[in-house]
Structure 1
Amino acid sequence: MQLHRLTQTIVRDQLTPAERTDAARAAETLLSAAYPGDAADPATWPAWPALIPHLLALDPGDFTTAHGRFAACEACWYLMDRGNAPAILPRLQQLHHTWTQQLGPDHALSTAQYLARAYSDTQNHAQARALDEDTLERQRGVLGEDHPDTLRTACALAIRLADLGEVEAARALGEDTLERQRRVRGEDHPDTLITASNLATDLADLGEVEAARALGEDTLERQRRVQGEDHPNALRTACALAIRLATLGEVEAARALGEDTLERQRRVLGEDHPHTLITASNLTTDLARLGEVEAARALGEDTLERQRRVLGEDHPNTLRTTGILTDGS
């Protein structure tokens, strides 16, 4: 049902406080019931666009249930996955502030995880790290060190540390988190595999490329078996593994994995998705190394145009692609 904005405003202004409270509760109940599932799961994506405007329109103070708050945060995650972190950051700040005031900081921890990601995606890595550190400390005290939510925050904090150049600290936290997740959740749990994939990147950044490759290959095999070859998590790991192969001089293998990953990401995520564009940028380098300069230039120019439009000219991924094209010119 669609309602003209003027009519909507008039009706809203005529509501008594009690009527408005009842209407907000009804809206939250309907939106919670319509929640399609994990925003990172491709199977839920067709249902999200119709729901998101309503979840964004509802005032943060009108969410009164844990399920409703979770749905509101997942709507933000869906948008961040599509490169919209700058636009959604104020909403997450508002949600976190309101719910912290209402519930207390120990009961708004899940919201803090979403806000930390928004800070990270907008290149405010220090603020993301501070928020994740606070969240992790609180979760360890409230939930325990081995609780799944605690371990997810530890995984995220390791990413923040690596983003800030503290790769040794990221590696140590990643290894501890991975050991706990394997023991508590199992070696094939999706959360365990995300941590393993991130740790592989840390190992590579520390020069342990063979170890990174071995962990990446094992992780990719498990993700493909557990979640499917086209799952976004598996595709991110495949993208990273292609980089490892190229670093080890196996450029043909890197190119083959990169092309397969890019084709899948274009089909599953879309041509303008930030992760698709990372893979395309990496493949540009592989093509150039193999002497296919014209193909590399065409792919690089297309990728750069898309990154400038989706991410902005000053985003690190955009600047990296610019550097690749400049070096190859």
Structure 2
Amino acid sequence: MGAVEAVARHGLARVQGGTLQLHRLTQEMLKGQMTRQENDQAMADAEALLTAAHPGDSREPRFWPAWQVLLPHALAIDPAWLTTSWGRFVLGDACWYLMDRGQARPARNRLQRLYDACLQQLGPDHDDTLGAAHNLARAYNDTQDHERAHALDEDTLARRRRLRGNDHSDTLSSARSLAVGLWSLGRHEEALALDEKTLEVQRRVLGEDHPDTLSTASNLANHLAEVGRVEDAVVLGEETLEYRRRVLGSDHPNTLSTAYNQAIRLEGVGRVEEAVVLGQDTLQTRRRVLGSDHPHTLNTANNLAVCLRDVGRVEEARALGEETLERRRRVLGEDHLETRRTAEWLGKLGKEQEEPGSGE
């Protein structure tokens, strides 16, 4: 403890709450004085600390506060220096947390580095390489690089089918991811067929209420609605939402995603009052769980504003739309597609109210 107190006294480090934070210049100075063996040992120690501090599944909101604390440390480690499967898994989990929080770009950079390192050090068929590829494909899709996502998903699925078989849970996860990419590329019939086949196998192998099965079911409901099979989508969406609330809980991001999409589908089949109720509940929960500025929260607010207008609650719709536009301008930027869509919708709403006889 004497050494720690000494460096703190000279302003080279800060000791607070049982943690030690070294000044960046101090870090660089110490790093420059380390031998290769000492540096390797330091990286191994850092990886061991990282894995020991793994809070739990980053998809679970109850672990998010701990992930927020761990995240800077996880991202400070060069993925190429990781030497264990568990270390690579924890980094992948950290990047998944980032993507779920709407920060796909920094996650993509780290995952690209991890995938390239795994490919070089372990080869294309290693489980760690395939796991990194799966995560990176999602990052590609989240940053609108759908062609690269598709190529990576297609390769990963082929390898997992050969190595693990068609019914393995990892293979089925890759199939679901590939379907998402196919849809984004406009290859809707292929995506729909793959979704339906994957769901059939998952229900048989994993069970009706397994989280992976429900992810595929949720995607399939979205795709069914997009091709005009809205009634089928509503039925599947209701079933999936009920399962997810029971299995994952009402506050889980995946449950909220299903609820958000189900509200859109209910509006599409004319059940607008139900859509408003579900939309209000989803918005309230997403604000609490994700925060008011999260892109998913803003999507929910935007859709609820549309529903409110459709049931004649025009002033509430306008107020919510204006708030959403302000947040989207600040969070996404003036020129972002979603910002422009909200602005255009508000413009149309204003014109409708200006037209003679357009009152309630």
Query: TM-score range with shorter-chain normalisation?
Result: over 0.9
1:270 paired with 2:291, answer yes
Which of 291, 296, 307 aligns to 2:328? It is: 307
Q: Give ranges in structure 2 of 5+ residues lacking alignment.
A: 1-19, 351-360
In structure 1, the residue matched to 2:155 is 134
Instruction: Please give the residue correspondences for 1:151-230 in structure 2 after superposition, counting only pairs within 5 Å.
Output: 151-230=172-251
Residue identity matched to 2:251: D
The normalised TM-score by structure 2 is 0.88
Q: In the TM superposition, what is the alpha-carbon distance from 1:12 to its structure 2 partner?
A: 1.0
In structure 1, the residue matched to 2:83 is 64
Q: How has the CA–CA distance of structure 1 residues 111 and 169 changed in structure 2, closer, same or farther, with 3 Å as cutoff?
A: same
Q: Give ranges in structure 1 of 5+ residues lacking alignment.
A: none
Q: How has the CA–CA distance of structure 1 residues 97 and 313 changed in structure 2, closer, same or farther, with 3 Å as cutoff?
A: farther
Distance in 2, matches of 1:49 and 1:140, equals: 35
Distance in 2, matches of 1:309 and 1:145, equals: 45
In structure 1, the residue matched to 2:26 is 7
Contact 1:262 1:279 (8 Å CA) reproduced: yes
Give per-residue Cα distances to partners, 1:21-80, cap 9 Å, x unaligned. Answer: 111001101100101111111011010122111111111221111110011111111111
1:295 paired with 2:316, answer yes
Contact 1:119 1:125 (8 Å CA) reproduced: yes
Q: How has the CA–CA distance of structure 1 residues 115 and 313 changed in structure 2, closer, same or farther, with 3 Å as cutoff?
A: farther
The normalised TM-score by structure 1 is 0.96
Instruction: Please say which of residues 249-258 and 121-130 is displaced more in the overlay.
Output: 121-130
Contact 1:92 1:115 (8 Å CA) reproduced: yes
Q: How has the CA–CA distance of structure 1 residues 266 and 81 changed in structure 2, closer, same or farther, with 3 Å as cutoff?
A: same
Distance in 1, matches of 2:25 and 2:335, equals: 39
- Structure number with the bigger relative contact order (C-alpha 8 A, sep ≥ 6) is 1
Give per-residue Cα distances to partners, 1:187-246, cap 9 Å, x unaligned. Answer: 000110011011001110111111000000000011111111111111111111111110
Distance in 1, matches of 2:249 and 2:274, equals: 21
1:96 paired with 2:115, answer yes
The percentage of counterpart residues that share the same residue type is 59
In structure 2, the residue matched to 1:84 is 103
Instruction: Please say which of residues 297-306 and 104-113 is displaced more in the overlay.
Output: 297-306
Give per-residue Cα distances to partners, 1:96-147, cap 9 Å, x unaligned. Answer: 1111111111220111111111111111112111111111111111111111
Contact 1:61 1:98 (8 Å CA) reproduced: yes
Q: In the TM superposition, what is the alpha-carbon distance from 1:321 to its structure 2 partner?
A: 2.6
Distance in 2, matches of 1:304 and 1:51, equals: 33
Q: In the TM superposition, what is the alpha-carbon distance from 1:313 to its structure 2 partner?
A: 4.1
* RMSD after superposition: 1.4
The secondary structure found in structure 2 opposite 1:8 is: helix
1:36 paired with 2:55, answer yes
Distance in 1, matches of 2:330 and 2:276, equals: 26
Instruction: Please say which of residues 85-94 and 193-202 is displaced more in the overlay.
Output: 85-94
Residue identity matched to 1:6: L
- Larger of the two Rg values belongs to structure: 2
Q: In the TM superposition, what is the alpha-carbon distance from 1:266 to its structure 2 partner?
A: 0.9
Q: In the TM superposition, what is the alpha-carbon distance from 1:317 to its structure 2 partner?
A: 3.4
